[in-house]
Structure 1
């Protein structure tokens, strides 16, 4: 068979990681216009990273001819590589998301590389099928999820296909890549919003702007119509003379009727004290309403005999208000009337019996540029109780105690997560979607849009399909309202805002919840949800083909001859199907008539979902086996189907990293996933740690969780791959990893890898060796496991060669940290390391006396230290003096210090990486921070050294 010539792609050689990571981290704070505001999805990849990865996956590395056995000018290749880096650096900036000049440059490079590849394979027997120089291969993501990857492929000029088993994910992808291009360039058909202050100054309806405007217009109609029908359930609150008598601060508002933003409720149970067993007492986790400086407010319960009432006061809350009636973690409370402890079993029994109640604690209203916290009124509580829903979701919540905590308290169906008033509002909005669609269809016909009666699902583009498209985005707005409009949403007293239902990837039990007003101009309102969704639609790509379908990744054939980048489920991290039911039950009510096949079932399909969920499979072992087998089939599918010219890129994110002995950083999910990739027939040609969380946040959390998504770059393994022994594998690791480690820590052709990512980045070249073979055989002839291979790769990081004093400090720190140990033990260790306690004391790295010894912390080291006159300078001392200078005096001072000991620059960096890895393994978050901050500030330290006038230091750094 004639071999296909496959030039190495840029992603297999080099990436400007710093630029990608900075842009990806920054994107976390972008809200207006970001696709994530269209509909919630868990663990969505940053657009910047997706765009950069797909571009680098398709563009030839400038040195590719060398990989094909040809000569190449290395200097020229380096210059060309820097040019491509600059394109990526521009491409990942949020401001350039729709910058046509930047996107055009990127598309031009993709086309250039594609034509080079076609030219290389011009005489190949499959040239006509695989290498058409006039048509780019299409893109496919078989685990499309939140849609970041298909969206960015479309933005880069590729036909984009998205598939997922989850109907909510499929609908999100349809809304992002399929619908906007179909209706691009059309003017809105809906009537202008009465009194619209925006007035739409521009009549530019290019791209999806007209569609976005219609979403806004029909959303405004829905809001107005809903208010006519159920607005009486959401009354304003009047500031009365009685209120002012209790709260003089309310005097400026006397007589005003304020719009309510939120009603704050506490769940209640009957008191376990027999004397008060008739009373329903509150389960309140806090009585603090606002902890903002100068705007403090709190609930003050007033006990009156065998009853109580709530009043709201302003000013500094008493200490007792902070914990409400809570006594400890979980469902541990005390009776407000008798101080009797209320045990979890009592609350669970009351909940399962359907006797959980609720009591209004406070009302949050709109003031003049601030929140106004008011005492509850009987009227407002009575009106809330008037609501009588005619329908509620009966879909049962999963019996998954890890992620769904409400079942123990009687909230066992999705409908139980909403108050009656919330159910009335959501049902009303859902019913109005159908009316809005019909209104839009009629308006489209009046505007002259032809109609063949073909719906959106059948590929229609006339009035019916257009109206249904608008309906999809209106249904999404209801999802956003539901996310804040459930009894799992709560009030953040430090921010004066709602904490949404999915503040985390689970549904917890919330004791005191915040009920939003969907007609207020605030978070949780329908208007805010529609407006945010409309802004997102406006900025979606205006051209290109897109198609999203429901398919099982294990059996799909869509990937055939396509570029593939995908973000599969992460072992047992997130139960997407279970969580998605929260939205599915509402989307189905609005969209079943539009997508009858997609919303045919009562709940999201779960049996084939590739997540290792123990409750679903009966045990942890069975769940792991299910995940491994299923993921292996799905990825094998990709190995067989994907276009042979391009590597496949697969994202993987860590959770709950664990360490055992010298195994380094590992996790069951990571090992299982890697095993699936290798079993599927892939060899790894690279791994890239792409930041999705700030390092500071991850370190501050004190966990061993990793701060990155790892992008695996995969090629189909050669069918004739050899088998090697463990000894041969280790020999190759020893030959390859030193250079790879140097490249990662010093920069090389890539950005330097931060310490927090090093143990993951080094996996790339290590697993590239392991995965190229059919098997690596142990001494007993059995194939080496992925876990063992990872242990051997991780262990490499620990094999450093420092001076004797530093070796002692390293070993002592690993065992004792900064704690005091016995002098005798230190003396034995010092001798073993070729040093002495007296020498260590003279070096200024330890303090000993009275039979004890401890390492000196960086903060204890002298500010007047001079490395040029110190006769004994271990790397340990130099590193911690650098940390002291950085923390006390800044980058310039640290640079000036480094400039006076240029020969120690590389050992200092190596030791900082080594100590970060050690601290991460031990869970010493605060210590890890110091080492990570030094490395991440290294470029600034370098500038400080240069400014100090020491050219020698600059040359030795060579970052």
Structure 2
């Protein structure tokens, strides 16, 4: 039974919905549970699962309509999702620009006063709905909740869905179960052996699927288990979890308050602490506090001022300073890209020199900083770096907040905290209350070792942070009496770890002025100044919002190497690690270092390390690992099962690698779709959006047929043309679903569909081809086949309303220019678009056709910019009719708009 996703997919709408979900930032469903990198949008997962289960009929247009109805992406669905009201002014602006509605302005609006109003005689809901339905899809989404936030579809929509699919469902879960029964005779089992942050298993469970989820990494396992069981908890369980969170918080608060380490002499309590690193200037010997800027708060106009003294500098905190002082503080940073900048002698010292890094006789880099011992938590007297507390943000009993530099009482509090840690850290490490794990060398972890000398994960936390988070771990381990509560506690600890370490940044932006997260990117960034949470500001990091969702609890979540998975699934949907894009195994160890005790107590069958040695990495073993993994999954699915692999890449050689990996694993390609999932400043689907997610649809290879390479070239050409023509036939001119990269991607998939449909191809050694695709792609036959498919695609991608016969008569350079104009018409000025066109149309040089080749402002030359200059790099273009027409336009403009002179030029030049 062929699936919907193998024939078509609403890439444009799913892309826009994915973008909307991404832009929700912390409002996304799973992000509150904890940090993970590269979670896929839930709407994308929902569409993929539905696309696999929904059968393709002999009426593709009706299939698409029904698919969009189920996803609430049709007109009725958008109307149901519409939540944000229009203001009268918004509606007036839209109506005024709409030719069909403009005549109704006086009927609907009162514009006699200072403020535009709706006439009292009109039905506001009807007017709003009429206005809403004139908008494009993107504009409609600004007024809508996400598909996952819609309770259910309306009765009439379900009648239409059931009529087409032969089902009798009243909600999404029932539909999934009934489609599963029709296809597999039982409820579908969706598996993911790279579950990561849990997007795929969670959405599958929420849709009503049985689920299998595994990952090598315990943090991934924890997040996935929590997504299904905590977000899917009953109302009673949720109340218990929230009560547990508050009880733990109160007990830790009581302990910290009793110690008296956060209150000052006035009884005010600390909200935040600011620390910086000190180092002696090698040139003058002065001890210099290091920070890139001394602005503390842009809203409160708070700065730290450097005051020179005999052996160094004091830092004096002042609030409400002038704009001039703010500018001075911002520009008087004592460390930058060039190194330490001494405010006393004015000399600059490179950081590598300051650290005393050196190379041995073999050229190997030797780090100059002292390596810290396991139980250390502070810099030692003879170290190159030291740490000082330079500012505290306090809150009075009346809620007013202020900053000050530490006085004697504050320094006493600080000394008391350090004394507590010094006396207890050894025992606490033994008990698992604070980290004791050594930091293994790695691409990301080497940063903290090189830049600070830290050798164990506890070194990334100052004494105050160790005390507070360690107290949370202690209270949780003693208080949680079931798995739900202990997991909720671990998630809270991990959130604290992400917002309360020596790598936690201080944000000085007006209206924020607080400590922010460690993992704002995919790295462990050592800081010269960092923030530390006082207990007053910990609650928002510790407690997180939990919304209850109905999830299918027929789920298995465990830790496993994907090569060793032994569970059968009907559909495998995976988002594999690819070429070390994110170093999950290294980055997650910051959390694992704290979770060890709680993990062992909650999941005794799990291990507590990241299993770095088994992680799939972008090294020489990558292809072999991937073949083994996907071969194992192929062996654990039915003959009529499916796989969807998500990955990000547009390079034909990478496509060739992945195709060969899947081919070797016993799988064949049946379709591929590209969904824009990134949220870039330029918006969605601008230009060649290669940062989208490719959905590669696969089935088990069951044929034994052999083909010859020269025989299948015609098959590939036919398949590419058929695929693009079928997509064009479904295209909506009002709201286009596909762009040029989609058609190119479809061409790649079509070529791979033909190639991988055979068990083997005579004259093609798959192992040799895989090696070539990785190391010498220019010599790979498969890469060449995919490149040729792209050229076939570009022959088929004709601009809208352009005559097909005329298009075929144009030279490749003329096509390049016309396609470029079409891109500019849609406000696409990315150089990558022109690079793609040049490759697609086999053009070696196009620089003389371009007015600009800058990344996001690339554009073609206009007729006046060409003038009558020779385009020597492109002889075909120079001799073309298009070049003649451009010259004629220039002549007309030059001659004050006299068209006859331009026409005369064309008659003279064109035979």
Query: Is 1:262 the counterpart of 2:288 in the alignment?
Result: no
CA distance in 2, matches of 1:769, 1:209: 51
**Helix, strand or coil: the match of 2:573?**
strand
Query: Is 1:408 the counterpart of 2:441 in the alignment?
Result: no
CA distance in 2, matches of 1:724, 1:11: 29
Q: Displacement, 1:676?
A: 1.6
Q: Displacement, 1:787?
A: 3.3
CA distance in 2, matches of 1:865, 1:106: 62
Query: Is 1:107 the counterpart of 2:153 in the alignment?
Result: no
780 and 311 in structure 1: CA distance in 2 versus 1, 3 angstrom threshold? closer
Contact 1:827 1:837 in 2 (8 A): no
Query: Is 1:839 the counterpart of 2:884 in the alignment?
Result: yes
Structure 2: gaps of 5 or more residues: 82-144, 154-168, 357-367, 372-378, 770-779, 798-806, 821-842, 853-864, 907-911
User: Aligned ranges for residues 49-198 of structure 1 at < 5 Å?
Assistant: 49-63=44-58, 74=59, 77-89=60-72, 95-97=146-148, 99=150, 101-102=152-153, 104-117=170-183, 131-132=184-185, 135-178=186-229
Contact 2:334 2:341 in 1 (8 A): yes
2:690 paired residue among 701, 706, 714: 706
| Aligned position for 1:248 | none
Per-residue CA deviations over 1:937-959 (Å, capped at 9, x if unaligned) read xxxxxxxxxxxxxxxxxxxxxxx
| Aligned position for 1:435 | 478
2:386 paired residue among 357, 360, 363: 357
RMSD: 3.9
Structure 1: gaps of 5 or more residues: 1-6, 64-73, 118-130, 182-206, 239-254, 442-466, 613-622, 655-664, 848-860, 875-959
379 and 706 in structure 1: CA distance in 2 versus 1, 3 angstrom threshold? farther
| Aligned position for 1:484 | 499
User: Aligned ranges for residues 317-396 of structure 1 at < 5 Å?
Assistant: 317=325, 319-322=327-330, 324-326=332-334, 328-329=336-337, 332-349=339-356, 351-352=369-370, 355=383, 356-365=385-394, 372-387=402-417, 388-389=420-421, 390=425, 391=429, 392-396=434-438
1:829 paired residue among 874, 878, 900: 874
| Aligned position for 2:314 | 309
Contact 2:640 2:699 in 1 (8 A): no
| Aligned position for 2:614 | 608
CA distance in 2, matches of 1:154, 1:52: 14
Per-residue CA deviations over 1:260-299 (Å, capped at 9, x if unaligned) read 33222211122212x42xx43122122223345xx54333
| Aligned position for 2:236 | 210
Q: Displacement, 1:423?
A: 0.9
9 and 826 in structure 1: CA distance in 2 versus 1, 3 angstrom threshold? same
Contact 2:630 2:662 in 1 (8 A): yes
Q: Displacement, 1:481?
A: 0.4
| Aligned position for 1:280 | 287
Contact 1:310 1:375 in 2 (8 A): yes
2:788 paired residue among 789, 792, 806: 792
Contact 1:404 1:506 in 2 (8 A): no
2:26 paired residue among 22, 31, 44: 31
TM-score (norm 1): 0.67
1:586 paired residue among 582, 585, 594: 594
2:540 paired residue among 521, 528, 532: 528
CA distance in 2, matches of 1:724, 1:815: 42
268 and 837 in structure 1: CA distance in 2 versus 1, 3 angstrom threshold? same
**Helix, strand or coil: the match of 2:440?**
coil
**Helix, strand or coil: the match of 2:392?**
strand
| Aligned position for 1:724 | 708
1:768 paired residue among 747, 753, 758: 753
CA distance in 2, matches of 1:632, 1:264: 49
| Aligned position for 2:800 | none
| Aligned position for 2:606 | 598
1:643 paired residue among 616, 638, 644: 638
Q: Displacement, 1:715?
A: 0.8
CA distance in 1, matches of 2:334, 2:727: 50
2:581 paired residue among 573, 581, 586: 573
CA distance in 2, matches of 1:551, 1:700: 37
Contact 1:10 1:59 in 2 (8 A): yes
Contact 2:176 2:209 in 1 (8 A): no
CA distance in 1, matches of 2:740, 2:408: 58
- Of 310-319 and 19-28, more deviation after overlay is shown by 310-319
Query: Is 1:235 the counterpart of 2:244 in the alignment?
Result: no
CA distance in 1, matches of 2:728, 2:847: 22
